[in-house]
Amino acid sequence: MTKRYLVLLLSIMLGIFMGSCSDPYDDDVEAPVIPANFDYNGGLSGDGGVYLIWDENTEDDLAGYIVYRSYGTVDFTAINTVQQNYYLDSGLDYDTEYTYKITAIDEDGNESGYTNTVSVTPINLNPPATPQNLEIKAHNLPTEFQVNVELTWTHNTESDFSHYKLYRSDVSDLFATNASSFLDSTINNYYIDEDVTPGTTYHYKLIAYDQGGVLEAPAAGPVSDIPLEVPTLNSPISGNTIDTLTPTFHWDNVNGAVKYKIIVRTSSVTGDIWEKTIDATAESEMAVTYPSNATTPLSANTLYYWFVSGYSKDTDEINVFTPVTGFRTP
């Protein structure tokens, strides 16, 4: 019985050992073929970029291609592995010659031999495009820590894009982009100008630059906006009792406003019961009357509050708002 048990145990151990020994002939040791027709596309290269192309390999177990680059005294270094049969190397110096070669690699890590080498100097050919969708929003909201002009635009996508320069005038929208109007540089697609004075209209232009810093796009803009001065509320104010349940509200019309919104509420911070948007006029004072047919009529002997928001453009972007003041109905 013991002998039979030992024979069985030996057989099991031998089976485990044999199963763990893989057949060396089952391993994939065959590398993919060298990619054919490796070259660069001259129409898509330049401006700090090199666009490499080659024929696709046909192996079923192909994992991708390894791109190698050399330049100056730097020897060939793998810079990326890609699955497609093209590659754009961007952000390069205009006056440096770059040399490339590639290999193919399969799923087991077998790598082919190198292709021929390709050398390219990605010279500066074209200026960046004019920045698109330049928009402007001015604010005079000190309680929200916003006394500024906010600029946004769509980011440039050129491979050799470097930075933007902003130019500003507080005199006219017809101004030169030079040292006297230069405001700041940025690599972002937004800018917040906080060096502004309420009541002053500001005009901006935006220029994109490439790495050479010489070729520049035509300027975007000008765009203009004004951080509005705070309108003064004239009547009713300071909690005074009025003599009607349909009061007329009066406030100063400020320079640059295109419309206003008046809001009446039941407390100084909440409880809005009526609002009205009106266009700015040429008059020095604006006025609007609480309607007798309002959904929520004013009640007698009640304290109400009101304030005004001002807009420098015909949008929903609030430029300025007044302090809240109160009045009491008769």
> Would residue 8 count as lying in a domain?
no
Helix (H) or strand (E) holding 3: helix 2-20
Are 215 and 237 members of one domain?
no
pLDDT tens, 141-152?
988 889 999 999
How far is 302 from 266, CA to CA, in rounded Å? 9
Average pLDDT over the chain reads 92
Are 213 and 242 members of one domain?
no
Are 220 and 162 members of one domain?
yes
Q: What is the pLDDT of residue 211?
A: 85
CB 233 within 8 A of CB 251: yes
∠ Cα 38 39 40 (to 5°): 145
Give the predicted TM-score (pTM) of the model: 0.75
How far is 274 from 18, CA to CA, in rounded Å? 87
> Would residue 209 count as lying in a domain?
yes
Percent of the chain with pLDDT over 70: 92
Task: Quickly state the pLDDT bin for 27 (edges 50, 70, 90).
Answer: confident
> Would residue 138 count as lying in a domain?
yes
pLDDT tens, 35-92?
999 999 999 999 899 999 999 999 999 999 999 999 999 999 999 999 999 999 998 9
Single out the residue in 99, 120, 141 at which a domain terminates.
120
Are 220 and 244 members of one domain?
no
Are 238 and 216 members of one domain?
no
How far is 78 from 76, CA to CA, in rounded Å? 7
Q: Which domain holds residue 85?
A: 28-120
Q: What is the pLDDT of residue 10?
A: 54
Are 55 and 108 members of one domain?
yes
Are 100 and 33 members of one domain?
yes
- Quick one: tokens of 281? 């006029």
Are 266 and 296 members of one domain?
yes
> Would residue 79 count as lying in a domain?
yes
Single out the residue in 191, 225, 259 at which a domain terminates.
225
- Residue 326's nearest CA partner among 268, 246, 263 is 268
Are 217 and 138 members of one domain?
yes
pLDDT tens, 88-129?
999 899 989 999 999 999 999 999 999 999 999 999 998 999
Single out the residue in 225, 242, 266 at which a domain terminates.
225
Are 219 and 193 members of one domain?
yes
> Would residue 76 count as lying in a domain?
yes
How far is 192 from 2, CA to CA, in rounded Å? 89
How far is 282 from 245, CA to CA, in rounded Å? 28
CATH classification of the domain holding 244: 2.60.40.10
Are 278 and 321 members of one domain?
yes
Are 77 and 108 members of one domain?
yes
Give the chain's domain count.
3
> Would residue 105 count as lying in a domain?
yes
Using CA atoms, how far residue 210 sits from 67, 117, 128, 205, in Å, is 26, 28, 6, 17
CA 65, chain centre distance (Å): 32
pLDDT tens, 246-283?
999 999 999 999 999 999 999 999 999 999 999 999 99
Mean pLDDT across 133-143: 95
> Would residue 21 count as lying in a domain?
no
> Would residue 213 count as lying in a domain?
yes
